[in-house]
Chains A and B, each alone.
Chain A
Amino acid sequence: MSVVNVPLKDGTAAAPRTALDSAAEARMFRRPSEWRIFWEAFSRDRLALAAALLIVLVCLAAALAPVLSPYDPTVGNNDLRLAPIGTPGHLLGLDGQGRDILSRLLWGGQVSLVIALLPVTVASVISVVLGLVAGFFGGKVDMIIMRTLDVFFAFPAVLLAVAIAGVLGPGMLNVMLSITIVLIPYISRVAYMATVTVKSELFVDQARVSGARPRQILLHHILPNTLSPVIVYGSTLVGIMIVLGAGLSFLGLGITPPRPDWGIMCSDGRNFLSVAPHVSAVPGIVLILVAMSFNIVGDGLRDALDPKLRR
């Protein structure tokens, strides 16, 4: 039976390892150029690539707002109230209180992007844990987790977010908290469905037959296969959450003025829609573009993350 035994390179037997070592090792044991394969598949989708580029640019611009923005976003110039796009020194014009729209857009981007990205990330992590546990262990655990989440489904998402934000009071942290809570049932369900589907796959039986521990099956075989639907779903949700965050700000439940946020900017401009439509339109268009980009990137990710769709 020694025929199969390939002598190790250094001629000695491998030192025995702890279970944790080998599990970590097993997880790392992939094609070395995994990222490159993913990137090659993703970059083939030109539209997704463009959308990703736009997102990166917008994120960078928002992050660099203190450097890039030409004016203080909270201080207005009364003489130039509602001045149109192209006003000298004010590329995107000024709003109803004479504040530079470009500056507000940059600063507001920080708020809007964080409000969307952070809750989606946090909610995804929590949801993956919930979905995996419920789906993998089934039975009573499944019952308790999924039925509790079902309760949240009884309320329309936006209404729930408004209610939670309303109870907690305005403020950035509270908005993010309410969005996170609203998101968890949705993402959990995606993670749960993926887990249940993957759990009954033959390769899970195969792992069991190979002597894998339940924890290892969960982390090594089920988690990677549930991750890509969650990543894809999450990235499409980011777009929606930018809009929801903006909506909450619009309703006065988001961050407090005079701090800008894309939602507040749209809201502020509505009184001047007939006189100076650009005040609402500029942040609105940016909002739509970014939200759409996240959706497109999500689609691209789905194709790139699934090995079967890659080539």
Chain B
Amino acid sequence: MGQALLEVDDLHTHFHLKKKTVRAVNGVSFAVRRGEIVGIAGESGAGKSVACLSILRLVPSPGRIERGRILFGGANLLTKSEREMRELRGQTVSMVFEDPLNSLDPAFTVGALIGEALILHKGLSRRNARTKAGELLRLVGIPDPERRLDNYPHELSGGMQQRVMIAIALSCDPALLIADNPTTALDVTIQIQILDLVKHLRDRLGMGVLWITHDLGVVAKLCDRVVIMYAGEVMEQGDVYSVLKRPRHPYTRRLIDALPKLGRPEQRLMPIEGRPPDPANLPVGCPFAPRCQKARAECEAAEVPLIETGDGRAVRCLFPED
């Protein structure tokens, strides 16, 4: 357990639309330590991506960070100037998106795309950037990297494209890598390869990783710790093994129950009934209460606090399991 690299504290990010305010992120707190892979898991619309874009201060308009602190290496990112943020982006904190093909500019070759950040942030010359781009491609496991430098993004397979994205993200030796669902567009075998690669790179480079996903399987395979988000709030967090083995929040429990189990084909899957609440009109109490089988009157009466349980875990539930 190293020191905290990134600390997100009581983050609120809201989108102010004409008639309503969408509260996408509502008091989210979590931390990433050096060399640690933290997964953020939850349904679509749980605020995972917005939370991560908030870290880079790139929330699309009309979104705004309302409240909270984002400490990175001890400094609050929310008080930095735009210029300081640009220095940080891509260099100290880098991000990989979900859709690799559309994230790569079709007009440039792979070598030029990787070189861009190196030239921008490290002031390398064209030639040196190219050499380093080749090294990076080798690092992310692309065979024959020298030749691939001259390929255009669409000439590569999906897995290769995602490797290129990771190479770009790693180009300036970031301290923190944020990955937004980077394996959803890939098939399962390639997905495993990418996960192994990220783990391997984490071990080698010692960076912190924040991995957004809606796949608990990925969390189990990759992450050290997991943050379960729902309706813009953290429902539960802790180390992956104990959270998945002994979930305390009913929502986590239901998520796990909704997964197919290997070796038990006869068991029916348990979908979670209902839909997530409208983020423009969140309930007063626990946002999961309307769908929760264990909900009681107290759950909907007042906001439920996130309670730390001492063993590195925290749960936002009045009636946690065990």
Contact = CB atoms under 8 A, between A and B. Distances in A.
Contacts of A1: 173, 175, 205-207
A224 B136 contact: no
Contacts of A4: 135-136, 139, 170-171, 173, 205
A25 B126 CA distance: 6
A195 to B, nearest CB: 14
Nearest to A26: B119
Given A29-B112, A29-B116, A210 B150 contact: no
Given A14-B123, A211-B121, A225-B106, A26 B132 contact: no
A20 to B, nearest CB: 12
A17 B123 contact: yes
A87 B108 CA distance: 57
B112 A30 contact: yes
Interface of B is mostly: helix
Given A14-B124, A29-B130, A210 B94 contact: yes
A208 B88 CA distance: 11
A213 B56 CA distance: 14
Given A210-B90, A211-B88, A15 B58 contact: no
A179 B284 CA distance: 64
B140 to A, nearest CB: 10
A25 B102 CA distance: 24
B90 A29 contact: no
Interface residues of B, number: 56
Contacts of A213: 86
A211 B120 CA distance: 8
Given A30-B108, A211-B88, A22 B132 contact: no
Interface residues of A, number: 39
Contact of A29 (B87, B119, B136): B119
B125 interface: yes
Contacts of B122: 14
Nearest to B128: A8
A196 interface: no
Nearest to A201: B102
A90 interface: no
A14 B105 CA distance: 26
Nearest to A203: B105
A202 to B, nearest CB: 4
A198 to B, nearest CB: 9
Contact of A203 (B88, B102, B152): B102
5 contacts: A3-B205, A202-B103, A208-B89, A211-B120, A212-B116
Interface of A: 1-6, 8-9, 14-17, 22-23, 25-26, 28-31, 201-203, 205-213, 216, 220-221, 224-225, 307-308
